[in-house]
């Protein structure tokens, strides 16, 4: 995985050597973390898939498992910062395996409260066993230099001056690629909240559960230790433990689902439709099924939690929008995805939905047959960087133009699929303007049959959603993913 200064061999402490196979050490947590960081760097592995497997296979549990997780995830999140400091402290470009060990040591020295002698000593031991004595000597010297200053002291040395280059400064200080910091600044409308947002992106998110209405309840989740959530009437937070061990989750009556993901689905069900009929809903890009699971339960059983009187009063419904309403049930969800394996996941997590493997841009349905359509469009996922530690370094701004074309085409077919008077929710797990407001603005301007509703009026539980008419969630404001929602009504025919 490249951040900067990725130029090739070096840092061996002199001379060539034969690569030794890994030897076991007692420091299971650091070995597992190192293996994860190496695998991500070397073969584009996914840390959130590999680490749990390694912990299971090696029998690493409890505090060791927590340490391995913090070491691996924290190191991967902070790569950009650590590489800048490593470059400053090295007299040669380290080889990738040595560099990954240095990154692991730098994370312990600069962001974790590991005492310097332990951070240096354990990393040097690991390098001696896994790579060789020469590399261990080099790592020892570099880590000692890194440990001579705190992160706060290093940042002004290795990052551009904030007065000349505020984005470049924040990119190094908070370990994010520069283009992502720029995109966040544009979406926030200015730099003021950037440090809070980037900081929130570096924290592990709470595990949020959804109790699917008619199938489970928040009370059932609270009875097994989950905590009352802030916004969604169906959410509960899990502080610790494996959600898969909870009976309701194992039985797909409940699931893991970010709170903003729950709320954007709920908002779609709350818009009063114009004209007759509210029986058939479509989730056009449903895999792996988070929103489909909730929409399927509400379609069948209704929005059982409904909206509190206070929330209803808080709902600011502009004249053109009717007030939010709790759906009474009695509808059917069709859930589609272009990828068969993702459609299968949707089938496994829903109960009553019809699940199809279909390309949303070549739809298998007649135009105008659906009353409500959810389009959770494929996107860069910049709003969920907290979840995949390495994701920020893998995203590429050059893909956005192609994604934008697909997003526009899918939004066009979603609007064709809904009946006049019906509603489409356009959702992305990205706040990037090119994937959100620009896509919606272009499609609405091109068609004469769509009006954009004030999405905030259907989310009275959550404030601070922006200037509208769309709603934008943020990790630093809401503790959720940075999810975007636009609600579009197809105008009734004259
Ligand atoms: C952001 S994810 C959807 C997440 C899902 N709604 C949830 O809440 O779990 C986007 C999905 O769109 C699917 N997709 C991409 N292109 C598509 C297309 N042309 N037609 C239908 N689905 C598509 C992808 O396979 C992916 O599963």
- DSSP assignment of 287-336 equals TT-HHHHHHHHHHHH--TT---HHHHHH----TTSPPP----S--EEEEE
pLDDT for residue 20 is more than 60: no
Check whether 290 is labelled as a binding-site residue: yes
Least confident of 116-120, 277-281, 287-291, 490-494: 490-494
- Mean pLDDT over all residues of the chain? 93
360 lines ligand 1 (CB under 6 A): yes
In the reported structure, the alpha carbon of residue 482 is separated from the centroid of ligand 1 by a whole-number distance in angstroms of: 17
Token digits for 171?
């990119």
Does any ligand 1 atom lie closer than 6 A to the CB of residue 289?
Answer: yes
Rounded to an integer, the average pLDDT of 431-445 is 98
* Whether domain 28-151 has CATH 3.90.120.10: no
Percent of the chain with pLDDT over 70: 94
429 catalytic? Reply is yes
288 annotated to a ligand binding site: yes
Ligand 1 contacts CB of residue 337 (under 6 A): yes
Give the model's pLDDT for residue 317. Answer: 58
What pLDDT digit, counting tens, does each position of 70-107 carry?
Answer: 999 999 999 999 999 999 999 999 999 999 999 999 99
Is the pLDDT at 15 greater than 50, yes or no?
A: no
Helix, strand, coil percent content, the chain, rounded in steps of 5: 50, 10, 40
Confidence of residue 155 (pLDDT cuts 50, 70, 90): very high
Distances (CA, A) of 482 to 31, 197, 402: 33, 10, 21
Is 291 known to sit in a ligand binding site? yes
- Domain range list for the chain: 28-151, 159-201, 257-490
Q: Which of 450, 453, 391 lies closest to 416 in space, CA to CA?
A: 450
* pLDDT per position as a tens digit, 283-339: 999 999 999 999 999 999 999 998 877 777 777 655 556 778 899 999 999 999 999
Q: Does ligand 1 come within 6 angstroms of the Cβ of 293?
A: no
Instruction: Compute, in angstroms, the gap from residue 58 CA to the centroid of ligand 1.
Output: 34
Backbone torsions φ then ψ of 180, nearest 5 degrees: -75, -40
Q: Is this complex scored with an ipTM above 0.95? A: yes
**Closest ligand 1 atom number to CA of residue 361:** 19
What's residue 307's pLDDT?
Answer: 80
The rounded Å distance from CA 286 to ligand 1 centre is 5
Structure tokens at 271: 């818009």
Q: What pLDDT, on the 0 to 100 scale, is given for residue 321?
A: 63
- Helix 62-77, helix 96-110: angle, nearest 10: 110
- The bridge status of strand 484-490 relative to strand 418-428 is antiparallel
Distance CA(12)–CA(96), nearest Å, equals 11
- Compute the distance from residue 486 Cα to the ligand 1 centre, in Å: 17
- Cβ of 255 closer than 6 Å to ligand 1, yes or no, is no
pLDDT band at 241 (very low <50, low <70, confident <90, very high): confident
Q: Name which residue sits closest to atom 13 of ligand 1, judged by CA.
A: 285
Q: Residue 198 Cα, ligand 1 centroid: separation in angstroms?
A: 26
pLDDT of residue 492: 84
Strands 370-376 and 280-283: parallel
Q: Can 28-151 and 257-490 be said to share one CATH topology?
A: no
| Distance (Å) from CA 288 to ligand 1 centroid | 8
Q: Is 83 in the pocket of ligand 1 (CB under 6 A)?
A: no
Phi, psi of 239 (to 5 degrees): -75, -40
Provide the 3-class DSSP secondary structure of residue 204. coil
262 with 232: CB under 8 angstroms? yes
67: its two tokens: 């340490």
Q: Does ligand 1 come within 6 angstroms of the Cβ of 417?
A: no
* Region 336-354 average pLDDT: 98
- Annotated binding-site residue? 100: no
* Residue located nearest, by CA, to atom 1 of ligand 1: 378
Give me the pLDDT at residue 6, please. 39
Estimate to the nearest angstrom the gap between the alpha carbon of 255 and the chain centroid.
16
Cβ–Cβ contacts within 10 Å for residue 367, how many? 12
Residue 10 has pLDDT above 70, yes or no: no
Q: Is 95 annotated as a binding residue?
A: no
State residue 494's pLDDT score: 64
What is the tally of helices (H) and strands (E) in the chain?
Answer: 21, 12
Predicted local distance difference test score (pLDDT) of residue 467: 95
- Give the number of other Cβ atoms within 10 Å of residue 484's Cβ: 31
Residue 152 has pLDDT above 70, yes or no: yes
Q: Which pLDDT score, from 0 to 100, does residue 264 have?
A: 98
Q: How far apart are the first and last CA of the chain?
A: 56
Among 355, 429, 439, 486, the one annotated catalytic: 429
Q: Given pLDDT bands bounded at 50, 70 and 90, which one contains residue 41?
A: very high
Ligand 1 contacts CB of residue 74 (under 6 A): no
Nearest atom within ligand 1 for CA of residue 286:
6
Q: Is 266 in the pocket of ligand 1 (CB under 6 A)?
A: no
481 lines ligand 1 (CB under 6 A): no
Ligand 1 probe mutation, 265, 281, 287, most atoms within 8 A of CB: 287
Please report the atom of ligand 1 found closest to the CA of residue 379: 1
- Over residues 22-26, mean pLDDT: 54
Domain 257-490: CATH superfamily is: Vaccinia Virus protein VP39 (3.40.50.150)
Q: Compute, in angstroms, the gap from residue 376 CA to the centroid of ligand 1.
A: 7
């Amino acid at each position: 995985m490249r951040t900067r200064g990725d130029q090739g061999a070096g840092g061996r402490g002199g001379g060539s050597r034969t690569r030794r196979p890994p030897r076991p050490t007692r420091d299971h947590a650091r070995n597992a973390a190192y293996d994860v960081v190496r695998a991500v760097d070397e073969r584009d592995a996914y840390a959130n898939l590999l680490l749990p497997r390694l912990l299971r296979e090696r029998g690493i549990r409890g505090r060791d498992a927590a340490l391995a997780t913090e070491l691996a995830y924290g190191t991967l999140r902070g790569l950009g910062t650590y590489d800048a400091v490593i470059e400053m402290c090295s007299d040669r470009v380290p080889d990738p395996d040595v560099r990954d060990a240095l990154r692991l040591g730098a994370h312990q020295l600069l962001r974790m409260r590991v005492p310097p002698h332990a951070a240096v000593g354990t990393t040097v031991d690991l390098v001696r066993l896994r790579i060789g004595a020469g590399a261990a000597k080099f790592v020892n010297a570099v880590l000692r230099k890194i440990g001579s200053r705190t992160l706060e002291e290093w940042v002004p040395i290795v990052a551009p001056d904030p007065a000349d280059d505020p984005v470049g400064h924040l990119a190094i200080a908070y370990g994010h690629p520069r283009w992502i910091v720029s995109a966040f600044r544009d979406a926030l409308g200015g730099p003021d909240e950037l440090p809070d947002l980037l900081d929130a992106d570096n924290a592990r998110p709470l595990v949020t559960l959804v109790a699917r209405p008619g199938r489970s309840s928040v009370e059932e989740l609270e009875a097994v230790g989950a905590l009352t959530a802030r916004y969604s009437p169906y959410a509960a937070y899990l502080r610790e433990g494996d959600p898969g061990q909870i009976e309701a989750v194992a039985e797909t009556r409940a699931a893991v689902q970010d709170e903003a993901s729950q709320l954007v689905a709920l908002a779609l069900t709350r818009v009063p439709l114009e004209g007759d009929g509210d029986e058939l809903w479509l989730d056009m890009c449903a895999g792996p099924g988070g929103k489909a699971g909730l929409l399927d339960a509400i379609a069948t059983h209704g929005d059982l939690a409904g909206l509190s009187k206070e929330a209803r009063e808080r709902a600011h419904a502009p004249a053109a929008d009717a007030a939010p309403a709790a759906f009474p049930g009695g509808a059917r969800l069709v859930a589609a995805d272009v990828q068969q394996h993702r459609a299968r996941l949707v089938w496994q997590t829903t109960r009553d939905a019809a699940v199809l493997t279909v390309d949303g841009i070549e739809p298998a349905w007649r135009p105008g047959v659906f009353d409500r359509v959810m389009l959770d469009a494929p996107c860069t996922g910049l709003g969920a960087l907290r979840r995949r530690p390495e994701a920020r370094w893998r995203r590429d701004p050059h893909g956005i133009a192609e994604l934008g074309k697909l997003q526009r085409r899918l939004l066009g077919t979603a609007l064709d699929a809904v009946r006049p008077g019906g509603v489409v929710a356009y959702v992305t797990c990205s706040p990037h303007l090119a994937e959100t407001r620009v896509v919606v603005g272009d499609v609405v301007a091109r068609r004469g049959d769509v009006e954009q509703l004030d999405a905030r009026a259907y989310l009275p539980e959550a404030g601070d959603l922006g200037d509208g008419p769309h709603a934008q969630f943020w990790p630093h404001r809401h503790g959720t993913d940075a999810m975007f929602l636009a609600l579009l009504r197809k105008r009734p025919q004259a």
